[in-house]
């Protein structure tokens, strides 16, 4: 933790929330050659829904994407575009499909999410959207890790950096995702090296490359990296190391309003408190996490909270707070969205 950027991040730790736009496409029936204005409108709307993803109910976002993806796909099938127009359509299709895949994943449908991520990668390749290619590889790495395919997960995480170079925002995210896989493998030295690399990259990014905390494809905010770092150390079984990042990030995340990050950072912090023997504080943090995400239930939060429950029951046995958490999770239904 000797890098200047990381020290500054901890020192500073003592936004406005973007909403899902009312309409992704204001036009109807994109013809053979969409105008520059139409394409610019689509690209701007994609930027808005990306920025608002973490703050909007996932089911609503998924329905929204399902409604508008066909317009872009139809334009691509019609063909007959100049190469520049076709590349912009492929970019739009890749970004929208990646968002759709993310929504499906967050609603618990990892199988369909995996298929959609593959499709998003193909669009990104045709669009020469290197950031999206790398970002999709990181999602594929996470899916492989969750399925226990750790060698594949590590290769995918490392492959992501090859698409964007070593000093980009996505490369910093890739190093943190690599650390998560190495944590699952029990590689303590590897986790430290990967996390240090991620923070070195983050420290060299411009303010524009850092962007806002929360869901992003092209940027890496230090608050986002803090949550990713904490997750890697939880995976490694070193919650005290995770706490260094969560303690620094929680208050700032609350001010930023990044729903998912606020909740997941609390669960990481709860794990650290549990391992230090403060079950009451740990339970309170998980309850806070569930309260924060009550309007936006998602499978990632459910999985991490249940993992905490299993760990807590091994350590403290039956406890009223744990029963309350279990009840909340049992009644926390995810929205159902058809393919």
Q: List, as one string, the DSSP characters of 306-319.
A: HHHHHHHHHHH-S-
In the structure, how many helices (H) and strands (E) does the chain have? 16, 0
CA distance 250 to 25: 36
CA distance 183 to 177: 10
DSSP state, residue 20: P
Q: Comparing C-alpha atoms, which of 219, 216, 244 is closest to residue 230?
A: 244
CA distance 206 to 225: 15
Give Cα 2 to chain centroid, integer Å.
26
Do residues 59 and 335 touch, judged by C-beta distance below 8 A?
yes
| pLDDT per residue rounded down to tens, the chain (339 residues) | 555 566 665 555 543 333 334 444 434 444 446 777 888 888 998 999 999 898 888 888 888 888 888 888 888 887 777 888 899 999 999 999 999 999 999 998 999 999 999 999 999 999 999 999 999 999 999 999 999 999 999 999 999 988 998 889 999 999 999 999 999 999 999 999 999 999 999 999 999 999 999 899 999 999 999 999 999 999 999 988 998 898 888 888 888 878 888 999 999 999 989 988 899 999 999 999 999 998 888 888 899 999 999 999 999 888 888 999 999 888 876 666 554
Task: Name, in order, each residue with C-beta under 8 angstroms of 49's C-beta and a sequence gap of 6 or more.
Answer: 20, 21, 24, 61, 64, 65, 99
Q: Comparing C-alpha atoms, which of 66, 69, 90, 75 is closest to residue 35?
A: 75
Query: Where exactly are the structural domains of the chain?
Result: 238-339
Long-range contacts of 71-75 (CB under 8 A, 24+ apart): 71/25, 71/29, 71/30, 72/30, 72/42, 72/96, 74/30, 75/30, 75/31, 75/34
User: Where do the H-state alpha helices sit in 204-278?
Assistant: 207-210, 222-236, 239-256, 259-275
Can you give the C-alpha Rg of the chain in angstroms? Answer: 20
pTM: 0.85
């Amino acid at each position: 933790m000797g890098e200047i950027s990381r020290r500054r991040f901890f020192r500073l730790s003592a936004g406005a929330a973007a909403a899902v736009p009312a309409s992704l496409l204001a036009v109807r029936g994109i013809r053979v050659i969409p105008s520059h204005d139409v394409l610019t409108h689509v690209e701007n709307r994609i930027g808005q829904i990306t920025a608002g993803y973490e703050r909007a109910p996932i089911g609503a976002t998924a329905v929204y994407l399902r409604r508008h993806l066909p317009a872009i796909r139809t334009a691509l099938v019609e063909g007959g575009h100049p190469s520049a127009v076709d590349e912009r359509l492929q970019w739009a299709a890749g970004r929208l499909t990646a968002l759709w895949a993310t929504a499906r994943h967050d609603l618990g449908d990892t199988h369909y999410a995996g298929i959609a991520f593959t499709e998003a990668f193909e669009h990104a390749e045709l669009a020469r959207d290197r950031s999206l290619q790398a970002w999709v590889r990181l999602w594929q790495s996470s899916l492989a890790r969750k399925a226990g395919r750790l060698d594949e997960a590590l290769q995918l995480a490392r492959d992501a950096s090859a698409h964007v170079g070593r000093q980009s925002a996505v490369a910093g995210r890739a190093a943190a995702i690599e650390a998560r896989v190495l944590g699952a493998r029990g590689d303590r030295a590897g986790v430290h090296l990967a996390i240090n690399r991620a923070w070195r990259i983050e420290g060299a990014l411009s303010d524009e490359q850092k962007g806002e905390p929360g869901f992003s494809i092209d940027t890496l905010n230090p608050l986002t990296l803090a949550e990713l770092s904490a997750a890697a150390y939880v995976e490694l079984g070193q919650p005290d190391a995770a706490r260094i990042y969560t303690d620094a990030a929680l208050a700032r995340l609350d001010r930023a309003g990044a729903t998912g990050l606020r909740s997941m950072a609390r669960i990481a912090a709860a794990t650290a408190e549990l391992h230090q023997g403060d079950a009451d504080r740990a339970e309170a943090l998980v309850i806070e996490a569930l309260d924060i995400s009550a309007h936006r239930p998602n499978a990632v939060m459910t999985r991490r909270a249940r993992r905490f429950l299993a760990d807590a029951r091994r350590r403290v046995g039956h406890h009223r707070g744990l029963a309350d958490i279990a009840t909340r999770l049992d009644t926390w239904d995810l929205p159902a969205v058809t393919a």
